[in-house]
Amino acid sequence: MTARAFTPVHIGTLELKHRIVMGSMHLNLERTDDGGAALAQFYRERALGGADLIITGGAAVSREGAGGRTYALVNEPESAPALARAVTAVHEAGGHLALQLFHAGRYAFEATFGLRPLAPSSVYSRFSRCEPEAMDEEQIQRTIADFAAGALRARELGFDAVEIMASEGYLINQFVSPLTNLRDDAWGGDAERRRRFPLAVLGAVRDAVGADFPVIVRTSGTDLMEGSSSDRELDDLAVALVAAGADALNVGIGWHESSVPTVQALVPHGHWLGVARRVREAVRAAGFEAPIVASNRVNSVPLADEALARGDADLVAMARPFLADPRIVSTSRARRLELVNTCIGCNEACLDRSFGDEPVSCLVNPRAGRELEYPPIPLPEAPAPSDEPGATASVERPGRVAVVGAGPAGLQAAATLAAAGMRVDLYEAADAIGGQFQLAGSVPGKADFLETIRYFENLLPALGVRVITGTHAAASDLVGYAHVVVATGVLPRAVHVAGAELGHVMDYRQAFAEPSAVGRRVAIIGAGGIAVDLAHLLAEADPEREITIMRRSGRIGAGIGPSTRWAVLAELRAAGVRTLTGVVYGRITADGVEITDADGALELVPGDTVILAAGQEPHVTLASELAGEGVPHTVIGGARDASGLNAVRAFDDGLRAGTAV
């Protein structure tokens, strides 16, 4: 790292210690009926972890502009206590908090408050599945006033800045785009008139808060919508915004309706930095020095630092990485990168929940959003020397806890138990920890899953956990432990199709372990998340491969979260993978799989290799044996419930078990 990230910077009158911003995330904690306690603790821990500037999730400036019923309503008294409490928490922790002023426009849901969404024009939204009402002049003026009132309210509540949300396809972005602004009055028409609304909002906000209060605009760097604003128009808007008094621009990427993936794991890290750079060059060419903030697909401080050193941006905003690790800034600054819990871009516990009503959390940090319920795992001062060599039949056990299985559930349980002061032995039958994350890490676009393994590889010994790999722990080996946490995971579900015993049939674990042993024509029985991952892996390894994935019922890729599934399936299609649902299996032959397809036609799905990936079953042998031996134990993760093979649930189980034992 060049340490450029850790140089101070100003946003207007706001002096920041470094250039990493915690970007806005809607948490679904904003209106929890707890007086704002959980929200405040969430932000407090990020500020304590080194975040200097935190931008809140969107606070709606009006009910019809809310993105859901859990959004803070900045202009209503009921939201004030929670917002003020968040401000106090962040200030006490030494950070700064900016309130994001939000209006969803046609991305609002009528069902939220029974109000028809408002938009510049009545253009149907695929995202909210509604046809909004075109705003009249009075509604436009009232909405501008709502933004101004929200900004003033933020200042009164003690916020250090506001960010006007004008990107991602929300209301202000809708006014800018020719796709959604079909007006021919003073608020629509050519690009200059389509810029009038954002400039009017910014002007009203500035008038309300005064010249000295920092105002950031989250402006779109690219809409990723065919026929929407051109790069030139968006650059002109950026220049107009800083000319009109924006203290900084935070460059957003893409609309929620866009068919271009923006934040999914399959998007390369740093992919969008060039957009921020383009906007910055336009602003600098026009003679303005306002700082430009880059965002999207930057998940580490070193990567942000590279972008800053290159001049892509003046600050970098990261959002999900702060969910995964509240201490990402301080740990990175201390150059203890091996102990950063990296966001893996899965979206499963964050984005997929933020669009519903469920509180947001994080797959690799199940404590996120529940900081008041579970104690933190402390950052070890220094790697602790192991108190004893690896556990064997002869080592002392009384008072120790054994965790068996070092997949997601077992890793989280071991770390949580050790953090609680327990002495922990973690057994793993394979030669390395990680379980199903080892398989996932080999899938195109999922290499970050290996970062989670790297994190635990470093964390567990530093917490004093004895990690014993390559050891199959039987119940008789575990007698004497105070408690055993069984995290033995899953086994491939048996497939009862004639011919499953033939030599060219293998289960998914074998295929992941040795893709080169898989032939050129591949029939995969099963089409859930694992089958989809495997098809990706095999297609990338050999683009000439002919691959079919099929299942009896259900959707292809069922179980993959909604914010990711569409992008993953598009990749599968692009790779030429054939997908079949509603099939009835006949038998496996030397040439493939005989099926009856959804239309009732008989077909031979070609396969010189047939792979069984039709789900998993809990691996419960050890749990049964322990019960027989009378050893106190808890069963977690896939060993407890294999349905859907849900990593979010596995980590969550590990956290709960680690706290409850």
Which chain residues interact with ligand SF4 by CB under 6 A?
A: 320, 323-324, 343-350, 362-364
What does the block give as tokens for 309? 């050193």
Rg of the chain over CA atoms, in angstroms?
27
DSSP 72-128: EETTSGGGHHHHHHHHHHHHHTT-EEEEEEE--GGGS-HHHHT---EESS---BTTT
State the Cα–Cα distance between residues 478 and 475, nearest whole angstrom: 5
Q: Which of 170, 455, 481, 585 is catalytic?
A: 170
What does the block give as tokens for 243? 């000319």
Choice between 258 and 347, CB closer to ligand SF4: 347
Among this protein's residues, is 170 annotated catalytic? yes
What does the block give as tokens for 601? 């036609």
Closest separation in Å from C-beta 368 to ligand SF4: 7
Choice between 323 and 485, CB closer to ligand SF4: 323
**Beta-strand runs (E) in 185-243:** 215-222
Beta strands 592-596 and 602-606: pairing type? antiparallel
Choice between 451 and 507, CB closer to ligand SF4: 451
Give Cα separations from 433 to 344, 385, 430, 571 (angstroms).
17, 19, 7, 29
Choice between 53 and 324, CB closer to ligand SF4: 324
Q: Given its phi and psi angles, is residue 173 left (phi above 0), alpha (psi -120 to 50 degrees) or beta?
A: alpha
Beta bridge pairs of residue 98: 55, 161
Closest separation in Å from C-beta 103 to ligand SF4: 25
Task: Fill in the amino acid letter for 270.
Answer: G
Closest separation in Å from C-beta 362 to ligand SF4: 3
Q: How far is CA 199 from the centre of its chain?
A: 32
What does the block give as tokens for 28? 């679904």
Closest separation in Å from C-beta 341 to ligand SF4: 9
State the Cα–Cα distance between residues 643 and 641, nearest whole angstrom: 6
Choice between 174 and 332, CB closer to ligand SF4: 332
Phi–psi pair at 587, nearest 5 degrees: -150, 160
What does the block give as tokens for 46? 């990020």
Closest separation in Å from C-beta 352 to ligand SF4: 8
Choice between 196 and 656, CB closer to ligand SF4: 656
Phi–psi pair at 609, nearest 5 degrees: -130, 135
Close Cβ partners of 284 (under 8 Å, ≥ 6 residues apart): none
Closest separation in Å from C-beta 645 to ligand SF4: 16
State the Cα–Cα distance between residues 32 and 646, nearest whole angstrom: 26
Choice between 65 and 326, CB closer to ligand SF4: 326
DSSP-based helix, strand, coil % in the chain, nearest 5:
35, 20, 45
Closest separation in Å from C-beta 344 to ligand SF4: 4
Closest separation in Å from C-beta 345 to ligand SF4: 5
State the Cα–Cα distance between residues 24 and 494, nearest whole angstrom: 45
Among residues 173, 322, 188, which one has the least CA distance to residue 234? 173
Cite the DSSP H helix spans in 266-350.
273-285, 301-310, 320-324, 328-333
Choice between 30 and 348, CB closer to ligand SF4: 348
Active-site amino acid positions: 170
